[in-house]
Amino acid sequence: MKKTKNDPSETHKNYSHGEIGVETRAILKLWQANRQFRMRETQFEDYEKVGAAYADLFEKIDTRSRELTKMRKERDKLAPKLVALNTRARSGMRGYFGAKSPEFAQFRTRQSHKAARKTRKPAAVKTELPPEPAVRSDADSSQPSTIN
């Protein structure tokens, strides 16, 4: 059965980069030992160049990844120190400028958004009860009032 270009079983996503490198080295070793092997539109030298370029990029990425890991560890060591200094600085600024000053308000980054919201008036509640009767004055009433 002839494989088409769109066959999903042969995509690079099905292989890890390490597996691609291992397979490439094995193919190069076998192809170099058996130079009579031919592929249409691909020579041994072309395959070797592509494999070498892939291996070089893989090595550069691996090296930079190790460097990046070192830098992340250094950053993670400095973070607690900086957080402690930030806390001390905010406390000092609160004491120096005052808790309600506009200068200190710039540093209130840890507060929730709810703290900064304006208060709303409660919505009017609609009830199903009948309205209360209006109070009548004695002068307006035509009926005598009885007092018990």
pLDDT tens digits, residue range 49-84? 999 999 999 999 999 999 999 999 999 999 999 999
- Residue 13: DSSP 8-state: G
Asked if 29 contacts 42 with a C-beta cutoff of 8 angstroms, the reply is no
pLDDT of residue 1: 44
Q: How many domains does the chain have?
A: 1
The Cα-based distances of 111 to 35, 88, 107 in angstroms read: 71, 17, 10
pTM for the model stands at: 0.51
The one-letter amino acid at 20: I
For the beta carbon of residue 28, count every other beta carbon within 10 angstroms: 15
Ramachandran region, residue 91 (left: φ > 0; alpha: ψ -120 to 50; beta: rest): alpha
* Gyration radius from the chain CA atoms: 40
Domain assignment present for 135: no
Domain assignment present for 5: no
Share of the chain above pLDDT 90, in %: 34
pLDDT digits (tens, 9 = 90+) for 94-106: 889 888 888 888 8
Domain assignment present for 75: yes
Q: Give the structural domain span for 42.
A: 14-110
pLDDT digits (tens, 9 = 90+) for 6-40: 555 566 677 788 888 889 999 999 999 998 898 88
**How far apart (Å, rounded) are the C-alpha atoms in residues 26 and 42?**
17
**How far apart (Å, rounded) are the C-alpha atoms in residues 138 and 27?**
112
**How far apart (Å, rounded) are the C-alpha atoms in residues 87 and 79?**
12
Domain assignment present for 60: yes
Domain assignment present for 1: no
Q: Is 112 helix (H, G, I), strand (E, B) or coil?
A: coil
Domain assignment present for 91: yes
Domain assignment present for 126: no
Domain assignment present for 4: no
